[in-house]
Structure 1
């Protein structure tokens, strides 16, 4: 395989294992094990790990190695709570500028979200989830606020990938489409006070779903 193909192969192999929850948060990604199992040299492995680190899925710790990212519960809670506050500020401002076409586009995003959740497609869901939240906040006309919110969305989507209980259960119903519908309806009606409460409850629900996420993972040596 060409260099880029080898690197992509390693990247996709590790990322798929993380998305499928076959690698537990905090598990070390030992280059020698990966090299032996995938029959590749160390250079494409290191490049693949750096790419995964740039996406927030892997932490590279100097003199220790690479690990599947393992946020604390306090970090998760802090990120969601801050995100909720910032999104309300942005959504409140965006309400004045969102058009009927914008609302129609966001409603289509919610329909795509329902399909992704029906298929239990976590990778598709986190992308669509980001699309929804960015769509309701981007017209706040504050570049810095938008940048902070997008960064927090990317970070909290990683928590959904790692822990959200919905993707490991056949019994639970998806909660986010209905909540997204409600949030959008309140924005259309410019009901600011109720919007604030709806966003707070939405992120509290996310925190609870992540807190309840206890999963069975394979040991790293069973994958590499």
Structure 2
């Protein structure tokens, strides 16, 4: 018989995959009884799995109402991206002066990872590479508070990418983000502060324009079949 951790981990992975693969829509209530009955487990591991997803920002727990897949408003998404863009523009203006040749080589290596994940449409690997790219630049600004704020916003906007980026739909066009990252690298190598900030701003604007809500979802019970 599986131990409690294994059961909780199975429920957690199943729910997380359902959210990230867009089988469960933003705003969908996650009912403990439904999951417990379907998987023939107690409600405790189900509740623990839901709490872990809440810590990661994928689920919102509302007092006296229950747990729901996070469902940000368009305004909240735009606010997060707008603030992140302004802070990263501030950081990159300083970071350019501190990035070494080896740093540039590492950024190019990360972009190769990103490109491979994009063409395979592997969202987890893509998000990991995308986060590493931006943080590798941001951390060179040497401003502890600015780095912390941006890290939080990167985590939040990554969730929005997972839930709403149209690229990960089957009918989407070919990826472009890695090409913009390569352009940013080349401009940083040339110490072109103004041009790199324009390029980064455009990069964020394109990311925002690629967000949309997927409408084809399954019922909660169906994800465990």
Alpha-carbon separation, structure 1, partners of 2:170 and 2:91: 33
Q: How does 1:175-190 map to 2 (within 5 A)?
A: 175-190=176-191
Asked whether the 8 Å contact 1:8–1:48 carries over to 2, the reply is yes
TM-score (norm. length: structure 1): 0.96
* Residue in 1 that maps onto 2:93: 92
Gaps of at least 5 residues in structure 1 are none
Alpha-carbon separation, structure 2, partners of 1:80 and 1:171: 22
Gaps of at least 5 residues in structure 2 are none
Length, aligned pairs only: 223
Q: In structure 2, do the counterparts of structure 1 residues 26 and 171 end up closer, same or farther at CA, with 3 Å as the change threshold?
A: closer
How far is 1:185 from its partner?
Answer: 1.3
How far is 1:218 from its partner?
Answer: 1.2
Asked whether the 8 Å contact 2:22–2:214 carries over to 1, the reply is no
Q: 2:100 matched to 1:103?
A: no
Q: In structure 2, do the counterparts of structure 1 residues 144 and 83 end up closer, same or farther at CA, with 3 Å as the change threshold?
A: same
Which 4+ residue blocks in structure 1 deviate beyond 3 angstroms? 212-215
RMSD, aligned CA: 1.1
* Residue in 1 that maps onto 2:222: 222
Residue range with higher mean Cα deviation, 162-171 or 82-91: 162-171
- 3-state DSSP class of the match of 2:41? coil
- 3-state DSSP class of the match of 1:66? strand
How far is 1:171 from its partner?
Answer: 4.3
